[in-house]
Amino acid sequence: MSDLIRVLIADDSFIVRSGLRHAIESFGGFAVVGDAATGAEAYERAHALRPDIVLMDLRMPDGDGIAATRRIGQSLPGVRTLVVSWSDEPDDVRDAIYAGARGYLVHGRFDPTELQRAMRAIAADEVSMTPIIARGIIAASERGEPATRLTARELEILRLVQRGRRNREIASALGLEEKTVKNHLNSIYSKLGINSRVEAMAARPELGA
């Protein structure tokens, strides 16, 4: 059992939970250790079961997936969250990553092989997204210029963004005004050829990650 990747499934739909469980149990090297139907249950069971990965829905009662993802990340840094949602809205993707999710898959846009690949990537402390979402982020990051174009302060801010820090938290940590942080971010986006915080979080190491 110690060699298995332990998975907790959080979704308010019994059908979705059952489908994910069936798929995961058909893979080698994984074990579903429990499930949850609400955000609060996901948080509680993550603490009780200490899984390697939580598959997290976004729309759940009693504490949504974003809040649960953030709480789990803050209190259980060794537990990684992979969002599995019906939503491909940019704001939802951004908020999920901002809350600490290490990946994002959209129902109907991945098959069992992609699910297995994503979970293995997350377990290995990598990032994984549905190809249609990742494609835009990766393409944008590849248009960026070398990190030498970023100032030391911009690199510092980029690293904090990639750790999930909000602008006000970055401002507090660096002794800056929040407006100054926003100005630096606009400069970073321009230099790296990107347009959003999500793309900044996916920037390659040579681009200052």
Write down the pLDDT at residue 202. Answer: 65
**pLDDT per position as a tens digit, 69-105:** 989 988 998 899 999 998 877 778 777 877 888 888 9
Domains in the chain, CATH or no CATH each: 5-129 (3.40.50.2300), 138-207 (1.10.10.10)
Burial of 182 (0-12, 13-18, 19+ CB in 10 A): middle
Average pLDDT taken over every residue of the chain: 82
Write down the pLDDT at residue 149. Answer: 67
Rounded to two decimals, what is the model's pTM? Answer: 0.64
Write down the pLDDT at residue 1. Answer: 46
- pLDDT of 191 strictly over 70: yes
CA 72: distance to chain centroid?
A: 12
Write down the pLDDT at residue 11. Answer: 95
State mean pLDDT over 8-30. Answer: 94
